[in-house]
Every structure is written in C-alpha cells, then in structure tokens.
Chains A and B, each alone.
Chain A
C-alpha cells in the first residue's frame, strides 16, 4: 500500500483487524499503542485525522494513488476517479476522496505549566512558523526523560514530531528533550551575591 493511499471502502481484512490491538514501535524506539485504527460502519479508515479535522486541514499535497487492493472500478466513485486521473491536475474536492497533508518534521519549544502525577501540562510554541502560535496540551510524563531532577513547572523542553507510516498505519514519531542549562559555577554564585548586595542597597532607598 502506498503511503498516500486514500481511504479504502473495502471491509477490513483479518490481518488488519489484528493490527488494531497490537502495540507497534515508532522510529524513536518508543512503544506506542496504535489508537488510530478505527472501524466505522464497515469502512476502514486508516489515517490519523477524524473527518472534521481532515476537512479543516487543507492538504499541501494530495493523494493521487489508490489502494491496489481496491480497484477504482469497484468503487462507487471509480469512473470519476479514473476520469480525473487522466487530467494533469486532480481536483480532490470534486472527486470527494479523503486526503491528508504530508507534513515533515515539526519542531516545538515547550514549557511545563503543571505536573500532576503521570500527566504534565505544557505550553507549546511551534518553531517552524513565524506567528509563534502557542497551544496548551497535556502529555504523559513517560514521554519525557526527566533524569534525576524530575519535572517541574517552568522546565523547558524541545520536541520534534513527525507523522510516520508503519505497516500502513499512521502514527507519530517524536523526541522530547528537556533543556538543562548547566550547573551553577563559583562565578555564578559570586555574581548573584554581588547583585543581591546592590539590589538591597537600592531597596533601602526606595521602600516607603
């Protein structure tokens, strides 16, 4: 199956059904249980987005190949697709086939806002766009190796995420790296003491 296969209308095979409950490994070496594999009204949908999401996200590049196991002629839309494929450009909206965007690796900067048992809340800012839009989201703490120090509000981390297709199933390969700004040095301590002394002198003159 091509990585850009449009959703199939055929019933799921027995082997596909097995994949539904089997954990699979992503490229970062993490074990990710596949939760994307959905079956609705005997229609196998094997992409990460639900329909509403897919409609809201206009594809940068769209699917042009169909599942080899699902001949176009057998599809209710088969003749339309065949006709469309003859044209130099395919109008996927006119055909009505489901598509998804191809997106490369996404880079993010995150700041932890709250840690609550096995979940932490973070604000994420994309490093790939100029608008610096920030979103809030939760992660399981196991995705971030905190080291000896643990995770605390205010900690910064870098994250990369990329959609990856493994045996036809789309999952997210990711890497999260907590940002450690090094250790305190004797010079740091001296600088702090010096600035604290100066600031206290200043405060004496300013507090009413």
Chain B
C-alpha cells in the first residue's frame, strides 16, 4: 500500500499504530479533517508515527487536525502526546472529565515535585498540554482549546459540504465513573509531610474515554482501555445508558485484547456482525497482551481482526544478547524494549459497506499471530 496517498474527501479512514507498547489511532473523518486519539513514540527514531504519517501525505497539521484526545493517563497511550498537540496548532485537546478537576491537578503538581531529579513520569505530558492550551488561548484571543470528555457529550459536530453529518461523541467516562475517579484521586494524595516522595500510581483505565464516531454512513467505536466495570462504570456503564439505532462496523478493541475489558454485550449490541477489529499489543509486562486465549476469543467474534505488531518479543539483537550475557542468570527473559511500529489502515468510501484494510509491517492478521504462537 502507499502510505503517502491521501484519502478522498468522501473516504473515512482509521489507522492504528503500535510498536508493542503504546498505541495511537488516527481517524480521517472526511473532507480532509482528522483527529488523533492517543499517541505513541517510535522507539527507533523517537518520532511520532501518526504525525509522520500525516506529514508524509502532505496533510496540513496546522489546519486539518481538529482534535487530539488522550483517552487516559497511561504512558502507553500518551507518550509524545504533548508534542503531537504542539504540531497541530489549531487542534483542541480533549481528555477525561476526571482529569480536569482539582483532585487531578493537585496530583499533577505533587507528581511534578516528586519527580524532581527523577525520570519524567507520564504526568509530565499533561502539564505540558495544559501549558500549550493556555498559550494557544492567549494567542487566539481567548478561544478555548481544552474539552472535557464525559458520557454522551459531543466533542465534534460538523456538517460536510454535501450536507452529511459528522459527529464524535464520548461514551465514557460515565458520571458515576467521574465521581468515583474524583474520590480516588482525592484520597490518592502522595504529598504527606515526612513521608517518602513517590510518584502517583493510580489506575486510570476505568475512567478512560471511549468514542462513538459517525461520519457519512460509517460508525466507528474506539474502545480505549476501558475495562468492564464496576457497576455504573466502564462498559457496564455504557451498556446501561447507550442504545444506538445503528451499530458500528469498525471497533478498536479495548485494553490490548485483555479479558477484563471484553464485554460480550458490546459485540452483540454495539457492533455489526463480523466487524473490522483493530488492536495494538502490549508487550511491556510479564504477560504480553493479547495472549493466546485473547487471540482465540477475539478471533471467534470476528474474522477480520488485525494487530499492529506481534505481542511476542522480537528476536534479540546483538546488543541485547551482549546485555543478557552481562547480566547472566540475574535477569530473566531479557528482551528488546519493543519492536518496530506497525500500522493497520482501514478505509471505506461513503456509500460502500466494506472496509479496505492495508497492513504496514509488522502489522498482521490476528489469526496469523494465533498460528505462530501455537506452533511455538
């Protein structure tokens, strides 16, 4: 496939990038307008794949990117996101409503103080973003560039030249999840006089932002890393409140295919039969995702699932072999940090049902990952 070919104005595109740890989703809404959902960094070049892809196609980053959204505050989803926002000069930033309250701001500043002299934490991205949107507001004469995402809130509502509508709506976090998050954040204060300084360690998956995107006749569901519950939160919260008349034909599988984010009713009530499913792996932990059971489960639900890279670590380079030798039996399973950035690109023209899927190596069909893992 050609990665420099711009989609037509009546073509909707969803591209997902992922190097093994981290993911970024790029959506062409139509009429040359784009949104970026989450960000990852190419470990080899330190570049931002979504930005490089747009730049390679000649998209005006200044003008044509409407929104940069951070679904949640995990470093595999927001690596380099402040840089991405700084390139897209007219875009606004959107994040979970829970992350704009006093509780989170306090955590941000505690984290800043805790990391002095330490390596920068993921939360430094949020501090940079808040500085960028403030500078942008001042330069734009007061126009605001920060939006809170909460259930049922439209983030983008456009009418294209042909009269068709484009709407991007947040399905999560639910109001209950926001309340719960604020309570957690309020109790999570890390700065207690006389106690050791430590960075903040919350788990923000349960209040991450899921998007429902409607453009032309296409519907897309981007699942972020939203987990199933608890009651009133996560996918359970969405399913209790949201009953669409039409279903989505493309799904970004949540949480790298992990079972705690897989709700059967999402597939039954929100998705078409055999939807195109996109996911990025997470190989940063001890148990890479998706594992063999995850692959089997997702493959049973759709025949059209694609992944940006294999969750199985790549063969070690000579440098890693040397490091392994240095560490002897002290280190278990030493491996590359993560591999190359793969891309899965799905495009569909207005009026056509099918999505045309193209893969940029090491992206592959999920079914192939399954085969290879079993052979091992």
Q: Does B37 contact A (CB under 8 A)?
A: no
Bound together, the chains give a CA A205 to CA B135 distance in angstroms of: 11
Minimal Cβ-Cβ distance residue in B for A206: B146
- Are A134 and B326 in contact (CB-based, < 8 A)? no
- Are B113 and A188 in contact (CB-based, < 8 A)? yes
- Are A56 and B323 in contact (CB-based, < 8 A)? no
Q: How large is the interface on B (under 10, 10 to 19, 20 to 34, 35 or more residues)?
A: 35 or more
Interface size on A, residues (CB 8 A): 65
Contact of A114 among B148, B285, B328 (CB under 8 A): B285
Max chain A C-beta neighbours (<10 A), residue from B100, B144, B286, B328: B328
Bound together, the chains give a CA A64 to CA B246 distance in angstroms of: 76
Q: Report A's interface with B, CB cutoff 8 A.
A: 32, 35-36, 48-49, 53, 56-57, 100-101, 103, 106, 111, 113-114, 116, 119, 121, 123-124, 126, 131, 133-140, 143, 149, 152-156, 161, 163, 170-172, 174, 179-186, 188-189, 191-192, 195-196, 199-200, 202-203, 205-208
Q: Which residues of the other chain, B, contact A182 by a CB distance below 8 angstroms?
A: 196-197
Interface bits B94-109 vs A (CB < 8 Å: 1, else 0): 0000001010011011
Minimal Cβ-Cβ distance residue in A for B324: A53
Q: Which residues of the other chain, A, contact B195 by a CB distance below 8 angstroms?
A: 183-184
Contact of B286 among A116, A133, A195 (CB under 8 A): A116
- Are A161 and B326 in contact (CB-based, < 8 A)? yes
- Are A106 and B326 in contact (CB-based, < 8 A)? yes
- Are A205 and B137 in contact (CB-based, < 8 A)? yes
Bound together, the chains give a CA A113 to CA B22 distance in angstroms of: 14
Q: Which residues of the other chain, B, contact A185 by a CB distance below 8 angstroms?
A: 193
Q: Which residues of the other chain, A, contact B92 by a CB distance below 8 angstroms?
A: 208
Max chain A C-beta neighbours (<10 A), residue from B92, B283, B333, B338: B333
Indicate whether A57 sits within 8 Å of B191 (C-beta atoms), given known contacts A121-B284, A138-B333, A172-B330.
Answer: no
- Are A163 and B332 in contact (CB-based, < 8 A)? no
Bound together, the chains give a CA A29 to CA B220 distance in angstroms of: 58
Bound together, the chains give a CA A98 to CA B126 distance in angstroms of: 53
Contact of A56 among B116, B283, B318 (CB under 8 A): B318
Interface residues of B in 169-199 (CB under 8 A from A): 191-199
Q: Which residues of the other chain, B, contact A170 by a CB distance below 8 angstroms?
A: 328
Interface bits B107-120 vs A (CB < 8 Å: 1, else 0): 01110111011110
Interface residues of B in 273-330 (CB under 8 A from A): 283-287, 313, 318-330
- Are A53 and B325 in contact (CB-based, < 8 A)? yes
Q: Does B160 contact A (CB under 8 A)?
A: no
- Are B119 and A156 in contact (CB-based, < 8 A)? yes
Q: Which residues of the other chain, B, contact A149 by a CB distance below 8 angstroms?
A: 196, 198
Q: Does B358 contact A (CB under 8 A)?
A: no
- Are A181 and B332 in contact (CB-based, < 8 A)? no
Interface residues of B in 109-143 (CB under 8 A from A): 109-110, 112-114, 116-119, 121, 130, 133-134, 137
Bound together, the chains give a CA A200 to CA B320 distance in angstroms of: 45
- Are B321 and A135 in contact (CB-based, < 8 A)? no
Bound together, the chains give a CA A171 to CA B193 distance in angstroms of: 43
CB distance from A107 to the nearest CB of B (A): 10
- Are B197 and A184 in contact (CB-based, < 8 A)? yes
Minimal Cβ-Cβ distance residue in B for A131: B319
Bound together, the chains give a CA A36 to CA B283 distance in angstroms of: 28
Bound together, the chains give a CA A106 to CA B112 distance in angstroms of: 31
- Are A208 and B144 in contact (CB-based, < 8 A)? yes
Minimal Cβ-Cβ distance residue in A for B329: A35
8 closest A-B pairs by CB: A172-B328, A137-B334, A208-B144, A137-B331, A138-B332, A195-B109, A114-B285, A56-B321
Q: Which residues of the other chain, B, contact A153 by a CB distance below 8 angstroms?
A: 201
Contact of A181 among B116, B322, B338 (CB under 8 A): B116
- Are B327 and A208 in contact (CB-based, < 8 A)? no
- Are A203 and B332 in contact (CB-based, < 8 A)? no
Q: Which residues of the other chain, A, contact B286 by a CB distance below 8 angstroms?
A: 114, 116, 119, 121, 138
Contact of A203 among B105, B118, B196, B334 (CB under 8 A): B105
11 extra interface residue pairs, beta carbon distance < 8 Å, beyond A181-B117, A207-B147: A56-B322, A57-B322, A114-B285, A114-B286, A133-B323, A135-B336, A138-B333, A185-B193, A192-B191, A200-B105, A203-B100
Q: Does B145 contact A (CB under 8 A)?
A: yes
Indicate whether A184 sits within 8 Å of B325 (C-beta atoms), given known contacts A195-B109, A196-B109.
Answer: no
- Are A199 and B325 in contact (CB-based, < 8 A)? no
Minimal Cβ-Cβ distance residue in A for B192: A184
- Are A48 and B328 in contact (CB-based, < 8 A)? yes
Bound together, the chains give a CA A136 to CA B114 distance in angstroms of: 24
CB distance from B342 to the nearest CB of A (A): 18
Q: Does B335 contact A (CB under 8 A)?
A: yes
Indicate whether A205 sits within 8 Å of B134 (C-beta atoms), given known contacts A123-B337, A184-B197, A192-B113.
Answer: yes
Bound together, the chains give a CA A117 to CA B302 distance in angstroms of: 35
Bound together, the chains give a CA A207 to CA B112 distance in angstroms of: 22
- Are A137 and B327 in contact (CB-based, < 8 A)? yes
26 contacts between A and B (CB under 8 A): A57-B322, A57-B325, A103-B326, A114-B284, A121-B285, A123-B337, A126-B323, A135-B335, A152-B198, A152-B201, A161-B326, A163-B326, A171-B328, A174-B330, A181-B118, A184-B192, A188-B191, A192-B109, A196-B102, A199-B130, A205-B144, A206-B133, A206-B144, A206-B145, A207-B100, A208-B144
